Structure 1
Amino acid sequence: MNDVAIPDRLVLASASPRRRELVSVLGLELPVRLLPTGADESVAGTLSPGEIVLELSRRKAEAAADALRGEQSAESSSGNDLVLGADTIVVLDGAVLGKPADREDAVSALMALSGRTHEVYTGVTLLSCPGDRAVSRWQRTLVTMKPFGIESARRYAATGEPLDKAGDYDTTMHLGDIGQYRVLSQSPSGQPEVIVGHTVSKVTFRPMSDAEIEAYVKTGEPLDKAGSYGAQGLGAVFIEKIEGDFFSIMGLPLNLLYQMLLKFGISPFQEK
């Protein structure tokens, strides 16, 4: 870790005060800046939920990195920023439940979730900035390094193909059975440039009455939330059980983020 050039600042590619609060829980000894982006959030229907959150977190990080490079160019200055992009989706029976279009849409989503178990996926991207190299390398790597599980890696290794190839193997690090991350790009000196990861948790809602759903929607809380509820707010009263990472359901898995930050030499346990 001593050989890693520690970033001067963490840039959160988000307008979410909740994610900013979660980052602050780590008590990092570096400034944190919020930099919202207008990244395109449309995705191909062929992507799996895990691939969707990786793709969207990557887009947000890239958009923020582009904005930072523009600022640095205009100011004729350079910094050592680390950009954090994150995205969360709710999945029920394989279908993604995004933010509701209106109150009626929120009511429909909550009725579908009532008394059932759904999944929450959160993707995280850490991207070293400035410099174009990190983004361009990520784009090239994205084509060839599609996320796959440990069993796929074992089957691939069993073919013997990776044995004579440098780098052509699964570099995924697993966090139990709920999360994973991998270094996608690093500098010639071994410095990480792009790290991506995601978690998946299961949330079970108790059966809710129509009156409860209507009253909850009237509070306005569900209207800007994926899946039409906020686990950190009044939506918590409907949650019967959580299997996985609670912070992932809130929008930023701290266990996963901690493991990824360590690769950049950042830790809340560093000596002051």
Structure 2
Amino acid sequence: MKFVKEYERIGKLDRDIKNIILMSKSPRRRDLLSFLNPQIKINPIDERKIENKFMEVYKTDDFLTRVSKTCCEIAKAKSNISLDEDSLYISADTIVLIDDKIYGKPKTLEEARLMFMSYFGRVHHVVTSVCLRSRTYLDVFYSLAAVKFVDYYKDLDPLVDSYIREENIMDKAGAYGIQDLDNRFIEYIMGDYNTIIGLPVSEISRRIFGVIN
């Protein structure tokens, strides 16, 4: 399985980039990019409108590819603003999917529990798309990860109940944060762990410093 796939690339990143701007309010993404000391900006967009449009545009693709390309368009839209000179903008989006369903942020604790319980004994995918954008450069790609939960057994119930009750899962796509999970839930992970958290840091660093250094 190829874990990083290209979506769109135009132009070349200048070597005199002075500012890194993260287009996200996510504290997890901010922490992952702390080594770049990014400024934070937000460009509110209608993610569901973009999702509906491009899921239709890419309807002939298999479901995973269709979702991944749509995820890229959402990331692009987040940095579609007036760009400052000498600045690199980083925007991203993360989607959790299982079979042919997209799991967004749960609206209720009951929905969160249903999502969470559906992972046991199955593989689900997490896709994080990234858009690197400057005045002279556009680079859009996505990173995939596969997560397998263990087969369910009854002694896991207290762990599930505790997680649903105590963790702030309502703001997390798919009703979980991989960094918060009890190790007994996970059978294996394929791909970049940070993709599941919300930003494939090693790939971003390679693309930036492979160009401007």
Q: TM-score range by the shorter chain?
A: 0.7 to 0.9
- Determine the structure 2 residue equivalent to 1:233: 180
- 1:214 aligns to 2:161 (yes or no): yes
Higher-Rg member (1/2): 1
Post-superposition Cα deviations, 1:11-30, rounded to whole Å, max 9, x if no partner, equal 10000111111112xx34xx
Structure 2, unaligned runs of 5 or more: 1-12, 59-65
Residue 198 of structure 1: aligned partner: 142
Name the amino acid aligned to 1:232.
Answer: Q
**Shift of the alpha carbon at 1:263?**
5.8
Confirm or deny: 8 A CA contact 1:89 1:96 kept in the other structure.
yes
Residue deviations 1:190-211 (CA, integer Å, cap 9, x gap): xx51110101110011234444
Question: Structure 1 residue 19 and structure 2 residue 29: aligned?
Answer: yes
Shift of 1:264: 4.7
SS of residue paired to 2:78:
helix
Seq. identity, %: 31
Q: How many residues align?
A: 186
CA contact (8 A) 1:5 1:264 kept: yes
For the Cα contact (< 8 Å) 1:40–1:59, is it kept in 2?
no
C-alpha displacement of 1:5? 3.3
Q: Give the alignment's Cα RMSD to 1 decimal.
A: 2.1
* Partner amino acid, structure 2, of 1:193: Y
- Counterpart in 1 of 2:3? none
Separation of aligned partners in 2, 1:120 and 1:60 = 19
| Deviation sequence 1:99-148 (CA, Å, 0-9, x none) | 1111111001011112211011000001104xxxxxxxxxxxxxxxxxxx
Q: Secondary structure at the match of 1:222?
A: coil
Pick the aligned partner of 2:69 from 51, 55, 63: 51
TM-score under structure 1 length normalisation: 0.63
Show structure 1 runs of 4+ deviating over 4 A.
none
Question: Is contact 1:9-1:82 (8 Å) kept?
Answer: yes
Tell me which of 82, 103, 106 is aligned to 1:100: 106
Kept after mapping to 2: 8 A contact 1:197/1:256: no
Where does residue 118 of structure 1 map in the other structure? 124
Q: Which amino acid counterpart does residue 139 of structure 2 have in structure 1?
A: I
Determine whether 1:8 maps to 2:21.
Answer: no
SS in 2 for 1:232: helix
Match of 1:33 among 39, 47, 50: 39
Q: Is 1:246 paired with 2:205?
A: no
- SS of the equivalent of 1:227 reads helix
User: What amino acid is the match of 2:42?
Assistant: P
* Paired AA for residue 217 in structure 1: I
**Whole-angstrom distance in 1 between the partners of 2:149 and 2:127:** 16
**d(CA) in 1 for partners of 2:23, 2:112:** 26
Q: Which runs of 5+ in 1 are unaligned?
A: 70-77, 130-191, 268-272
Residue range with higher mean Cα deviation, 40-49 or 15-24: 40-49
* TM-score in terms of structure 2 length: 0.79
Closer, same or farther in 2 for the Cα pair 1:250/1:54, shift >3 Å? same
SS at 2:33's partner residue?
helix
